[in-house]
Amino acid sequence: MLEFGDDEARRLDRSYATSDVVGQRAQTLDMLCLQRGERVLDIGSGPGHLLAAMAEAVGPAGAVHGMDPSEAMNALARERCASMPWATVGTGDALALPFGDAAFDVAVSTQVYEYVPDMPAAVAELRRVLRPGGRALVLDTDWDSLVWNVADRALHDRIIDAWEEHLADSRLPRRLGGLLRRGGFDVTEQRVVPIFNPRLHADTFSVTIKETIAAFVPGRRGVTADDTAAWLADLQARAAEDEYFFSLNRYAFLATVRG
């Protein structure tokens, strides 16, 4: 499991500020169509970028609550939302949401459910805390969509196999529509949210994700620190030779509570 301590929280915070994730956040907000005064839950709010944007959208007549199991993440989120007292942040688990039935108009979970081992239970909790007709947006990555240009394909495959150990389901999006429908939702919109980096520079998602992968994989699936260094050097060489290429798909599902 990937531990989100101070270092990883800061790295994720940088990632969420890149133009790739800013664009993803814009698509999320576009799908949600938040209204002033709505009550919103962010399951796995991380460093609070989306939480702050949703708080601005609903305004002081509304309420936005973020929850994350990482206190390092929660500290960043509280700081980011400090000027908006209607935005609150606490700890919580997607399998046991600490809220009453029908407490929210909207719930969002981005890049979280792929870590959850019991998705039917998580969907049941999601439905429980939403009012009748309430809407949910779920976004996750299918890691089979990853395309990364490397010279040493065998080493790269070993690195990514080790990386996927941190997930409960690295291919969750292909199941999400059915999980939501069976869990009492009507799926009203589905989108692919691609991340495409044909160049390697600081304002790209792939800069930060390669750092995160490199920190996680040594000691897993036989991957050594030297292997990881060689993989990073391979990526840098592709960039130096103007052959860098990174592409990854995320998938967003908008659904409403049925009945």
- 259 pLDDT band, cuts 50/70/90, is confident
Q: Please, what's the largest Cα pairwise distance for the chain?
A: 57
Give the model's pLDDT for residue 10. Answer: 79
Measured CA distances, 58 to 65, 211, 254 (Å): 12, 35, 18
> pLDDT tens across 214-257, in order?
999 999 999 999 999 999 999 999 999 999 999 999 999 999 99
Report the percentage of the chain scoring pLDDT > 90.
Answer: 91
Domain positions in the chain: 6-142+168-198+250-257
Give the model's pLDDT for residue 74. Answer: 94
Question: Two tokens at 55?
Answer: 């708080």
Give the model's pLDDT for residue 53. Answer: 97
> pLDDT tens across 76-125, in order?
999 999 999 999 999 989 999 999 999 999 999 999 999 999 999 999 99
Mean pLDDT, the chain, integer? 95
- 3 pLDDT band, cuts 50/70/90, is low
Can you identify the CATH homologous superfamily of domain 6-142+168-198+250-257?
Answer: Vaccinia Virus protein VP39 (3.40.50.150)
- 15 pLDDT band, cuts 50/70/90, is confident
Give the model's pLDDT for residue 1. Answer: 56
**Amino acid at site 252:** A
- DSSP for 169-224? -TTTHHHHHHHHHHTTEEEEEEEEEEEEESS--TTSHHHHHHHHHHHH-TTSTT--
Give the model's pLDDT for residue 17. Answer: 86
**pTM score of the predicted model:** 0.93
